[in-house]
């Protein structure tokens, strides 16, 4: 096993180590939670954390013998995507405590692939211009970018190896331009994932 904290390892390495029995999913989740506890007061990347649920899911994965694409990898979900087991506020005070009836595909697909959600990441209100509290993890005096600031900052600060983001106004591009270490930005093919159960400024310009 590499001599580095699990939260700093890329997702591909984590999957190999977990499937090879060199690392447990629970150890990875605990490492991420420790990093969050240390840095969240400054970075403020999270709208909601689900530590106990994540640890429980990690133990289930450790007890299973199956292989999967994201086995044991913790991830964050931008708070414009509906989640039935976590609040979804769309970054707005008028939706505080909102509990959707079902999950968006952005939450379903990584879970089905063995990923472990740690919580919801901060977004600007309705993924628009009203900024959230997230700071740039490299320098709190600088901007963290646009509506996906929570997801990108969480990855940049090694809180999670992966986070789900979206872009209707180039928030992912802004994030990467202002956070050189923000992590990988992946965009699925058009119509690969369902449009249902997430807040988009525009169905024409919204990009996951």
| Helix or strand holding residue 117 (H, E) | strand 116-121
Q: Give the whole-angstrom CA distance, residue 68 versus residue 48.
A: 26
Active-site annotation holder among 71, 78, 149, 168:
78
The C-alpha angle 198, 69, 48, rounded to 5 degrees, equals 40
Active-site annotation holder among 147, 148, 149, 167:
147
Q: Exposed e or buried b for every residue in 114-139, given b needs 16+ CB within 10 A?
A: bbbbbbbbbbbbbbbeebbebbbbbe
Is 78 tagged catalytic?
Answer: yes
End-to-end CA distance of the chain: 33
Helix (H, G, I), strand (E, B) or coil at 124: coil
Residues assigned a catalytic role: 78, 147, 171
């Amino acid at each position: 096993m590499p001599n580095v904290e699990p939260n700093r390892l890329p997702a591909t390495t984590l999957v190999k180590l977990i499937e090879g029995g060199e690392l447990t999913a629970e150890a990875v989740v605990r490492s991420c939670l420790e990093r969050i506890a240390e840095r969240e007061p400054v970075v403020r990347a999270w709208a909601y954390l689900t530590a106990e649920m994540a640890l429980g899911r990690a133990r289930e994965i450790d007890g299973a013998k199956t292989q999967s694409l994201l086995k044991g990898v913790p991830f964050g979900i931008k708070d414009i995507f509906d989640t039935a087991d976590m609040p979804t506020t769309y970054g707005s005070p008028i939706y505080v405590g909102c509990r959707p009836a079902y999950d968006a595909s952005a939450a379903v697909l990584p879970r089905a692939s063995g990923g472990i959600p740690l919580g919801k990441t901060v977004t600007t209100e309705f993924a628009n211009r009203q900024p959230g509290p997230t700071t740039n993890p490299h320098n709190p005096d600088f901007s963290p970018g646009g509506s996906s600031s929570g997801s990108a900052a969480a990855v940049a600060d090694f809180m999670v190896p992966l986070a789900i983001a979206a872009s209707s106004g180039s928030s992912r591009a802004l994030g990467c331009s202002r956070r050189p270490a923000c992590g990988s930005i992946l965009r699925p093919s058009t119509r690969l994932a369902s449009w249902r159960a997430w807040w988009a400024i525009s169905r024409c310009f919204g990009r996951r």
